[in-house]
A and B are shown apart, each in its own frame.
Chain A
């Protein structure tokens, strides 16, 4: 099997398996935004956007664009049939109050305890927190999408976060370009692995012990046809 890393699109497709009919979900900026493209077309879900959209649809074409219908990244989007518009206080009541089934967001670091750091890079000029801390505090299940290592090859999955925390103990699963990892009370559990990689190789670029049972399944992709 050819050894390779997953593309952003493949990570998004793998995460799409987390979403079930009827779920209310918040998909962050970057890889998480791509997830909605890989859901079965007959699946009815409700996509929440922090700025008060409950029932967000795909990006708007130039002809459809309404500058007052934007996502959290300020891109023009559409509304689905059944959508609702709410004010910010109601939007964050949905977030903090446990009314969202799943949130997918990026991260700079995730620890073996499920701590997440994604709002401030030490040394970077201006920080920005947005709704990340609120989402972490209230969502039923928090999934992180990120590359397995940083630009210098250092692990982003660590024993303890060294960057300022966004929330403690909130991450349920991590999807990277190399692995799917569940976080349980006793630490990191390797669920699936990228094609051609071994658990031993993955352990070398992961900053905390991985629990696993071999043989490990290759990362499954939503909607993938059996070959």
Chain B
């Protein structure tokens, strides 16, 4: 019997080791796996590389991990906003590394990683500072940049419904990076509103199919 249900966020993240690369879903707070992040905070893993659109808010989620010195490197698109104080403080002190990636490139690098591709050429960022040192090629008359696949040891994501096979649905724009990150990690852990019986989610409605997902746990959405 396939049963990917973990009894709690704490149980779901118990084996995450220090030094891991973790893909963290969400855009702002929509679709953020905040319960899993706080379970990780309690769990103690450190020297982490986090990949996410933002850097958390105030002392919540990723920001709480960053504030406590648990994050070595941040791969993200937009760390510069009022709530990103924890990142800013560490960054200015030289205590955290930043890899800034254009948003479409970030998600496509993970899609490539999850889909077994060796990278892709994109016009995004061509002839800018963010493509310095990267291979370029003129394709159909447009300068394009070779971008590498990006994978995680873990992905932490948020969905709406799951079943014990790990099939997932999402609510509204909570979806964002979550289905793509699910594809790109060795172990994908999803927190959801509710775990429903197998067969309760119509096959046409499943957005992330079970083989991309390794653990699911039900918990109310946590917001700051």
Contacts and interface: CB of A to CB of B under 8 A. Distances in A.
Decide if A and B are genuine partners. yes
B9 to A, nearest CB: 19
A95 B172 contact: no
Interface string A68-112: 111000100001000001111101100110000000000000000
A130 to B, nearest CB: 4
A79 B169 CA distance: 19
Given A128-B81, A133-B128, A52 B175 contact: yes
Interface stretch (A149-157, A159-167, A192-200): A159-167
Interface residues of B, number: 47
Contacts, number: 137
Interface in B166-224: 170-180, 207, 223
Contacts of A130: 77-78, 102-103
A87 B177 contact: yes
Contacts of B28: 51, 70, 74
Contacts of A79: 172
Contacts of B127: 165, 167-168
A51 B176 contact: yes
Contacts of B171: 68
A67 interface: yes
B87 A137 contact: no
B104 interface: yes
A53 interface: yes
B43 interface: no
Interface stretch (B12-20, B64-72, B117-125, B148-156): B117-125
A50 interface: yes
B128 A164 contact: yes
B88 A126 contact: yes
B104 A126 contact: no
Nearest to A166: B128
A219 B128 CA distance: 33
B103 A120 contact: no
A87 B123 CA distance: 20
Contacts of B79: 126-128
B107 interface: yes
Given A89-B108, A89-B111, A128-B77, A167 B172 contact: no
Nearest to A72: B27
A146 to B, nearest CB: 18
Interface string A114-133: 00000010001111111111
B180 A131 contact: no
A134 interface: yes
5 contacts: A74-B29, A89-B180, A127-B80, A166-B128, A167-B128
Given A68-B171, A125-B88, 7 more contacts: A126-B80, A127-B79, A130-B78, A137-B122, A138-B124, A165-B129, A167-B128
**Leading 6 A-B pairs by shortest Cβ distance:** A92-B104, A134-B104, A128-B80, A74-B28, A131-B103, A137-B123
